Structure 1
Amino acid sequence: MQRVTITLDDDLLAEIDAEAGARGYQNRSEIFRDLVRAGLQQSTRSSDSGDCVAALVYVYDHESRDLSGRLVRNFHGHHDLSLATLHVHLDDHNCMELTALQGSIKEVQHFADHVIAERGVKYGRVITIPTNASRQRKKPQTHRA
């Protein structure tokens, strides 16, 4: 095993400690290992090719330096992927956006990763749903006599 040092803000560590207690973890290392495994599993890139629809959800501080402008430029640069966006004001500083995306799995995932990684985005998650023809129900064929 390796020892790793990380820095967390007090509020996040308090949440992790509360979750560890609620789940019955004996120490922080155990919950961190499970959370990291879950995060890696969630972010594992599959070799799926083809198209998908996706829901991109993220919370950000709208006062973060030029973040709103960077996000708008990002979305305009990928207008072909974005179907619709819902913007919610959570409090004086934080907003949540939910965006429906459609396109190739790789392009959607790349775009979502870029949005989530922007400085000032506090939380982000993308859920992709493949829409490959092989996974969709085929229409019955009609035959001519």
Structure 2
Amino acid sequence: MLETKMEGVQDDKAERISITLPKNILEDLGKTMREIGIKKRSMAVRKAVELFVRENEALRKKGEEEGVGTVSYIYNHEKRDLLDKLLDIQHHFGKIIISTVHIHLDPERCFETLIIRGETKMIKELINELRRVEATNLAYQLT
């Protein structure tokens, strides 16, 4: 256990880990850090991990409770098999998808937002299904 004074660590105890990132992601991380004023790489990675944990924790804590929120993603509509998969997923989860918003970004890409309400268990299943297809920039907000 490494004991240090780090911003955002409440009990002053942290563990050192090692990660491997592709060069392009590391470059994007550096650029983003400069843009938002984060000086230490460990702080940026810590914030990313905290966000990842919080997002998934929201789904875990809710259990069988009802949730409401949005799920957004971008996809290439020229890939017909991908479009078919996304439509199949939407039809399969039609019970919890209240509405969809569809925006054409350019000749190939579309941005879609699903407005959802239902058992958190089903919402989690929907999100996991979308993670399995080639939709990019998958993001969700659940309350």
Question: Aligning the two structures, in what range does the TM-score lie when normalised by the shorter sequence?
Answer: 0.7 to 0.9
Q: 2:141 aligns with which of 120, 127, 132?
A: 127
Name the TM-score, length of structure 1 as normaliser. Answer: 0.74
Which of 97, 110, 119 does residue 104 from structure 1 map onto? 119
> What is the identity, as a one-letter code, of the residue corresponding to 1:39?
F
Higher helix share: 2
**Long gaps (5+) in structure 1:** 130-145
Structure 2 residue aligned with 1:43: 56
Larger radius of gyration: 1
CA distance in 1, matches of 2:29, 2:121: 32
Alignment match, 1:21: 34
User: Could you tell me the percent identity over the aligned residues?
Assistant: 21
Amino acid at match of 2:120: I
Counterpart contact for 2:71–2:115, Cα < 8 Å:
yes
Q: Which ranges of structure 2 fall in alignment gaps of 5 or more residues?
A: 1-15
Structure 2 length as normaliser, TM-score?
Answer: 0.75
Q: What's the RMSD between the two structures over aligned residues?
A: 2.1
Asked if structure 1 preserves the Cα contact closer than 8 Å seen for 2:77 and 2:108, the reply is yes
Does the C-alpha gap of structure 1 residues 31 and 49 become closer, same or farther in structure 2, counting only changes over 3 Å? same
Deviating above 4 A after TM superposition, structure 1's stretches of 4 or more consecutive aligned residues are: none
In structure 2, give the amino acid aligned to 1:120.
Answer: E
Q: Which protein, 1 or 2, shows the higher relative CO under an 8 Å CA cutoff with sep ≥ 6?
A: 1
